[in-house]
Chain A
Amino acid sequence: MTLLRALLVCLVTLVLSSAAVPPSMADDLQDTINALADGSLKDRAEKVDALLATGDPKVVPVLSQLADGNLYVRKADNRVFLTESAGKNFTLTDPVSGEVIPDINKRTLDKIKANNSLRRQIRDGLSLFALNSPDPAKRLEAAETIFKAQDASALPAIEARLAKEQDPEVSAFLEEARAGLVLSSDASESDKLAAIDVLREKGGRQVLSMLTAAAEKGEGAVRDAAERAVVAIERVLAIWEGVQNIWYGLSLGSVLLLASIGLAITFGVMGVINMAHGEMVMIGAYTTFTVQQVIQSTAPGLFDYSLLFAIPIAFLVAGAVGFVLERGIIRFLYGRPLETLLATWGVSLMLQQAVRTIFGPTNKEVSNPSWMSGALDLAGLSLTWNRIWIFFFALAVFGLLFLLLKRTPMGLQMRAVTQNRNMASSLGVRTPWVDAFTFALGSGIAGIAGVALSQIGNVSPNLGQSYIIDSFMVVVFGGVGNLWGTLIGALTLGVANKFLEPFAGAVLGKILVLVFIILFIQKRPRGLFALKGRAVEQ
């Protein structure tokens, strides 16, 4: 295949070169290229410059192969070739004529060596080349490389390009690259001030370091302007960092919300803590995995929509497990919340081991559909799509559950049982069925949470364990019997965690949050939003 392509390339270039380039010029280029093989590394730098100066697009592959260490010289006649490894031997391509010579023994060739400074020189030189590429994306990339490299010699090339650039985006970028170069050159004060203005608009960490350097070296008005710009940029960066932390916190909070909201309603209605709640999340995640496997093997075209199938299926599977758990075990333990806690812990152990036996102990790969991968670049922030989706998904689940509780007969009965079980029972609410359905609903929501969590973490039998303690904390913090408590509890804990992280480190931050909750419980033993009245007194 490669050979065929090489042949084709060679044919095309042969036709082109023989038609377009006069033979004498081609010979000149050939000589300049062949000269690369001679002399020391130091001489080579000058020769690279000479090649770059020709402005011929043919030198691009030569130089990039030199940088990659794939440029060889034939010992017999000192001709330089582009090479491609084909098994033990090389396939040679003449850089000028494009002639292909297959199956050459390595021993007949010498590698042309390059060092790091030569590679840097080549990279910067080639980016200047790319500056004139017809593809705007390439030009943008080249401008970025120049901006990062801070090579003053690129200034004339940039200015030349800037004069004829049509694309506004590339133009703006070139302007910034030029400003960066002007700042470090010995241009006039007014030029530098203008450059500082341009850079200040751009902002970002790289500009910050450039301006800091300028402020150290500069004098008078330039130094003052640079210092002002540094302060301004630092302020902007600090704000963005704050925004980023809030976003991370909200994102963590939405995950906690998904994981704990089901727990909160079962705890509210039935007064029992379901220690197997984390395993319902895990079941949801494994359901997602299974759904993806099935879709992959039967209808790969639907793969992007696999999550849409997984959500209702996970809800049903986890809900069914929850229903069986309630009917089979929990209803026999009425009025004994501590025993319920132990029994559900036992169930969680069995579910974990069952999943480990069926699916194996290793992590399973659940892939993101295309609309959830990648990131959204928003000014200084990079927000990954899966986090954004999960955030809104969590809010949607919250909203639906809220409507269910407030607007449906089932929700009315659930609230009645939460507030006063005996009174509700006397008024004809069939409390055992309310319990069973609440438990199934809570477990089903945990299953949905599992679908979401499979998108941001590992799917393993221990998945549930890693969320369960945090979910308890949310419920204990937010209080039971009130969804708002869970929402505010989850988001507060998420944001608090992320804001403590920079100061205290991830682990210590988490410990501080736990200690805070333990202390908080002393102050408000029933959480933030406790139900008022005698019914909650035990």
Chain B
Amino acid sequence: MISAFLFRGLAGRIAWVAAAIALIGILVPLSNLFLTPEHALYVPDYIVSLFGKYLTYALLALTLDLVWGYCGILSLGHGAFFALGGYAMGMYLMRQIGSRGVYGDPILPDFMVFLNWKELPWYWYGFDQFWFAALMVLAVPGLLAFVFGWFAFRSRVTGVYLSIITQAMTYALLLAFFRNDMGFGGNNGLTDFKDILGYTLQEPSTRAGLFAAAAFALCLALIISSAIVRSKFGKVLLATRDAESRARFLGYRVEHVKLFVFTLSAMMAGIAGALYVPLVGIINPGEFAPANSIEVVIWTAVGGRGTLIGPIVGAITVNLGKSWFTAQFPEYWLFVLGGLFVAVTLFMPRGILGTLSDATGKLKSLGSGKATALVQDPADASELRKEGEAS
């Protein structure tokens, strides 16, 4: 009964947060475009760009939370799906430059002219159409996740092993995209974008639009994730996380469950990447670096995994901290980030949101005089599981 109550409370909270994000997505661009700089509520251009970027990070953290917090798959390669989505969008933006590039070639992007390529490689066909690029943003990360997951989950690669090979996957992609003859701009990546869907990227109005799109995507992803988690399928998901063998013995195809969530999460990460690229104006192989993917994990952990709102809070908090530290004390940022990893895992395994709900839960139970056990507690549950299965 208490858990049912908490569950309804959680759902209510997600509705509130989704509404708040949607509202921000509408109000911030409006304020940026229609208020004068002197107005008290005016949002400057750089804030729009910066927070637009944070929103895409939040979306990425949310997708990781879906697989890690709810399914127990610690992916150290989610940055790869993000970057693949980004490259798909980057290819579209590259084709949109047309003959305005430095070399003025109507078809070939600048770097291909520079490398003396004579014609467009086959995998660049179709990217001059937005709908095709948008399809690829979903399809490429989704396909990679599907193939990778199909192999990995079928042969029951779990735990640390899975984390390590996801890291190897993003590392292999990093090396591959650094190569010039891959046809993705090598070291420099894709940049010098001009416009998207006919709107100039430098215009504040375009950036405001991108901000709105990022907020909308995040809002939608939140609602979808919430629906999945609250459905019957979501229960199986949690069962897989907490006691995989038991769920299998009860007749659930846990590898299918994992594969579905992993693929869905990769596709949403691709969307995050696709929104990120026009906002920052560049995509390069550095996005595949294993360190980036691990950083996403810490956003999620700081905010609180196993809660859908946590990763959003975590991504924005950590990145605000990063922006501030790298400007004020560039020397100490790595200490702070490293300390964050250690402190969160040691002292706040359930993140900011988990700790907060613990505190409020305790208050309530004090008030009602009952001992409350939180069902939605991944850290405790996984500990229980370890103890149970080790013996």
Contacts and interface: CB of A to CB of B under 8 A. Distances in A.
B103 to A, nearest CB: 27
Interface in B299-342: 301, 331-332, 334-335, 337-342
Given A337-B159, A508-B179, A522-B152, A347 B164 contact: no
Contact of A350 (B172, B176, B338, B344): B338
B35 interface: no
B160 A347 contact: no
| The 3 A-B residue pairs with the shortest CB-CB distance in the complex, in nearest-first order | A346-B341, A349-B338, A350-B338
Contacts of A297: none
B155 A525 contact: yes
B376 interface: no
Contact of A346 (B151, B171, B340): B340
A271 B274 CA distance: 37
Nearest to A510: B175
A337 B175 contact: no
A198 interface: no
Interface stretch (B84-92, B257-265, B290-298, B358-366): B290-298
Interface stretch (B8-16, B50-58, B225-233, B380-388): B380-388
Interface string A314-357: 00000000000000010011011111111101111111111011
A419 to B, nearest CB: 13
Contacts of A476: 161, 164-165
Interface stretch (A87-95, A109-117, A230-238, A512-520): A512-520
A346 B339 contact: yes
A512 to B, nearest CB: 9
A337 B160 contact: yes
A149 interface: no
A314 B152 CA distance: 39
B338 A353 contact: yes
A342 B165 contact: no
Contact of A525 (B156, B171, B389): B156
9 contacts: A329-B342, A332-B346, A335-B390, A338-B159, A341-B160, A342-B344, A347-B341, A353-B338, A469-B290
Interface residues of A, number: 49
B136 interface: no
A335 B383 contact: yes
A522 B301 CA distance: 28
Interface string A67-85: 0000000000000000000
A333 B74 contact: no
A166 interface: no
B345 A342 contact: yes
Contacts of A357: 331
A476 B167 CA distance: 12
Contacts of B342: 329, 343, 346-347, 350
Given A508-B179, A521-B157, A422 B390 contact: yes
A523 to B, nearest CB: 7
Counting chain A CB atoms within 10 Å of each CB, which of B161, B167, B169, B178 scores highest? Answer: B161
Contact of B346 (A333, A335, A345, A473): A333
A222 interface: no
A538 interface: yes
A472 interface: yes
Interface in A237-272: 267, 271-272
Given A272-B160, A343-B341, A507 B178 contact: yes
A342 B179 CA distance: 30
User: In the complex, which range does the number of interface residues on chain B fall in?
Assistant: 35 or more
Given A353-B334, A507-B179, A511-B176, A336 B382 contact: yes
Contacts of A332: 346
Interface string A495-538: 00000000000011011001101110111011000000000001
Contacts of B387: 335
A421 B155 CA distance: 25
Given A337-B160, A342-B297, A342-B298, A350 B391 contact: no
A525 B148 CA distance: 14
Nearest to A343: B345
Counting chain B CB atoms within 10 Å of each CB, which of A267, A339, A348, A421 scores highest? Answer: A339
B168 A517 contact: yes
A273 interface: yes
B158 interface: yes
A46 B163 CA distance: 76
A507 B155 contact: no
A343 B346 contact: yes
Given A342-B298, A343-B341, A473 B168 contact: yes
A473 B161 CA distance: 10
A273 B156 contact: no
Contacts of B253: none
B111 to A, nearest CB: 18
Contact of A345 (B155, B157, B294): B294
